[in-house]
Amino acid sequence: MKIIVTGKNISVNDKIQAAIDKKFEKLGKYFADDIKANIVMHPEKAKVKLEATIVTKGAIFRAEDVSQDIFDCIDIVADKLQSQMSKYKGKMVKKNKSNESVRFEMIPEFEEPHDEGKVVKTKRFRITPMTVDEAILQMELLQHNFFVFLNIETDNVSVVYRRQDKDYGVLNTTY
């Protein structure tokens, strides 16, 4: 596994790099292919935020944590990623699909406490051209966590969504 660590407004010293390498190398054994783990650290108020993303052929694994201790962040993020991989393995085995990028025999079986979610409602609606700010307003009025719209600035379908930090994100489509 190739581990790329980036520090934004924070330096990555040898001790931090060694801790990241040790934790994430263990995750690398789950993958058949040589994959890349992108890790970004940056200060957030009096704490440090660590974000990790691993992209494989069949899935994207992403985790983040904010803590005063960077080493706690590293442990928590690595544990979250391992949990995601285990859950992914369980779902893939249940659906009887194969995925060559993950070596399933090395990942412990995840036992989901509840039934898997299922599609219970399908909606069709006309996509309205609007700006991002108008889409955010519509989302707030509907009390939804996301809103699909035709972005008049890009002339593409976009999705505005509420992030965990209470800010907003925009997904822009390309085709």
pLDDT at 110: 56
- Residue 5 near residue 36 (C-beta atoms within 8 A): no
Every domain of the chain and the residues it spans: 2-106, 129-172
Which strand ranges, in their side-by-side order, compose the sheet holding 168-172? 129-130, 146-151, 156-162, 168-172
Contact 150, 130 (CB under 8 A): yes
Q: How would CATH label the architecture of 2-106?
A: 2-Layer Sandwich (3.30)
pTM value is 0.59
Are 22 and 1 in contact by the 8 Å Cβ rule? The answer is no
pLDDT tens per residue across span 9-64: 988 999 999 999 999 888 877 776 678 889 999 998 889 999 999 887 767 889 99
Question: Which CATH architecture describes the domain 129-172?
Answer: 2-Layer Sandwich (3.30)
